[in-house]
Amino acid sequence: MYKIKMLIAIDSEYDEITKKPFIVTMADHQSSKLLYPNNKKDYYIIKQICESRKIKKIFHSATSDIYALSTIGININPPYHDTFIMSSIIDENFSSRKLKILAKKYLREPCEEQKELNKIKLKYKRKYGKKFSWSLIPKKIIEPYAVKDAEYTYNLFKYFEPKIKQYKKLYKLELKLVPMIVNMQKRGHNINREFCKQEILRLQESYNFYFKKLIKFNNKIFNIQSPKDLRSLLKKTDIDFIEKTPTGLVKTGKDILEPLVKENKVIKWVLYCRSAHKQINTYYEPLLNNYTSEKNSIAHFSFYQSGTKSGRFSAELIQTIPKESSNIDLPNNVRKAFIPRKNFINL
């Protein structure tokens, strides 16, 4: 048996596509430290701590950090804990598991740095557009924010530790799933990038075709994503909209517009444009720009075992892919972008 001598919280900032960490922060009861994996000395420190069985490691969403560290040859040996899982067991009805939201709720931390970080993110998103990645932000700018994450994780663990004891068996069971989920993320899914590009062209062509019809009907250019502009357009259809908001404005949701398709062709054009826009921006462009690259067509999605109240797994992007298109939507072929491995099929 190993005698646990230390308790250290670990957080990593990593590239969205390669998942390789570029900053690792650690915190204990006394201090916090920034480490850079591409520095040999720092890499050795990270590896020694992560692989030691005498140090209790604390993560927030362990599957993400364990997978990220594995991409640079660092394995996480037990014991380790996960404040993400802890929070989901202790308060299953709370709406969010995000680190800073939990720090605000349980630690009464102001987390003011998040507002500043959002401004920085917006600035660099404007600069790099769809190619944005946290790794593109200079380290000197992101360092102060990275340190706080490790500190919040450490303090959340100290807060949750006495409370999780009454759910000991359930918590142990959840922790046993972590290595399996990490392997799921490592394995990834092959994406047909050429198919994604072709679908974007097809959908953009459809969007342009129907949007031109809408502009002609409206007699002026408008923003179809703006509820205000859309309401102005719909007024010209002479349709009697019964469904309205508490303030008396016409509701413009898909569930409201679909039953009215036969009443005016403009409704169909609106829904077609929305469908094309959603498919491009929700599925195809993220698959091309955020999950894969020209050099790597394997998408490594993050899976969360405690991401929903129902208890099912949640996964970014792929959990929102519909089984089939609505009768009113343009054909949604995004499932065809996922290439199954040999002797496997996609369900």
- Which pLDDT score, from 0 to 100, does residue 92 have? 87
What single DSSP character describes residue 295?
A: S
Q: How many angstroms separate the CA atoms of 45 and 37, rounded?
A: 9
What percent of the chain is predicted at pLDDT more than 70? 95
Distances (CA, A) of 164 to 130, 211, 287, 312: 41, 55, 38, 21
- Which pLDDT score, from 0 to 100, does residue 249 have? 86
Classify residue 105: in a domain, yes or no.
yes
Residues 11 and 102 grouped into a single domain: yes
- Which pLDDT score, from 0 to 100, does residue 329 have? 74
Number of structural domains (the chain) is: 2
Q: What is the pLDDT confidence band of residue 184, given thresholds at 50, 70 and 90?
A: very high
What average pLDDT does this structure show over 82-90? 95
Classify residue 81: in a domain, yes or no.
yes
* Range in 77-86, 204-213, 247-256 with the lowest mean pLDDT: 247-256
Residues 149 and 11 grouped into a single domain: yes
* Most confident stretch, 15-24, 96-105, 251-260: 96-105
C-alpha count within 13 angstroms, C-beta hemisphere, residue 84: 22
Q: Which residue has the higher pLDDT, 207 or 312?
A: 207
Cβ atoms 49, 57 nearer than 8 A: yes
For residue 64, the domain's CATH number is 3.30.420.10
Cβ atoms 107, 159 nearer than 8 A: yes
Residues 103 and 232 grouped into a single domain: no
Sheet hosting strand 298-299, strand order edge to edge: 298-299, 189-191, 338-339
pLDDT beyond 90 at 272: yes
Q: Which residue has the higher pLDDT, 181 or 141?
A: 181
Dihedral sign of CA atoms 251, 254, 258, 264 in order = positive
SS3 270: helix
Element containing residue 57 per DSSP (H, E): strand 55-59
- Which pLDDT score, from 0 to 100, does residue 338 have? 95
- Domain edge (last residue) among 128, 163, 187: 187
pLDDT beyond 90 at 137: no
Cβ atoms 325, 208 nearer than 8 A: no
Classify residue 146: in a domain, yes or no.
yes
Distances (CA, A) of 338 to 13, 184, 189, 225, 287: 27, 15, 7, 28, 10
What percent of the chain is predicted at pLDDT more than 90? 61
Q: How many angstroms separate the CA atoms of 147 and 113, rounded?
A: 11
Residues 62 and 155 grouped into a single domain: yes
Q: Which residue has the higher pLDDT, 303 or 132?
A: 303
Q: Which residue has the higher pLDDT, 18 or 158?
A: 158
Upstream peptide bond of 79 is cis (omega within 30 degrees of 0):
yes
* Beta-strand relationship, 21-27 and 55-59: unpaired
47-74 per-position pLDDT tens digit:
999 999 999 999 999 999 999 999 999 9
Classify residue 345: in a domain, yes or no.
no
pLDDT beyond 80 at 312: no
Q: What is the pLDDT confidence band of residue 4, given thresholds at 50, 70 and 90?
A: low
- How many CB atoms within 10 Å of residue 37? 23
Classify residue 344: in a domain, yes or no.
no
- Which pLDDT score, from 0 to 100, does residue 68 have? 96
- Which pLDDT score, from 0 to 100, does residue 209 have? 97
The values of phi and psi at residue 68, to 5°, are -60, -45
- Which pLDDT score, from 0 to 100, does residue 160 have? 98
Q: Report the chain's mean pLDDT, rounded to a whole number.
A: 90
pLDDT beyond 90 at 324: no
What single DSSP character describes residue 333?
A: -
Residues 69 and 161 grouped into a single domain: yes
- Domain edge (last residue) among 161, 187, 213: 187
- Domain edge (last residue) among 187, 210, 234: 187
Residue type, 247: T
**In DSSP terms, which residues pair with 339 in a beta bridge?**
190
Q: What is the pLDDT confidence band of residue 1, given thresholds at 50, 70 and 90?
A: very low
Q: Which residue has the higher pLDDT, 19 or 243?
A: 19
Residues 38 and 158 grouped into a single domain: yes
Residue 215 lies in domain? 191-339
pLDDT beyond 90 at 22: yes
* Range in 114-118, 170-174, 293-297 with the lowest mean pLDDT: 114-118
pLDDT beyond 70 at 3: no
Q: What is the pLDDT confidence band of residue 233, given thresholds at 50, 70 and 90?
A: very high
What single DSSP character describes residue 294?
A: S
- Which pLDDT score, from 0 to 100, does residue 305 have? 83
Classify residue 35: in a domain, yes or no.
yes
What average pLDDT does this structure show over 298-306? 87
For residue 264, the domain's CATH number is 1.20.1060.10
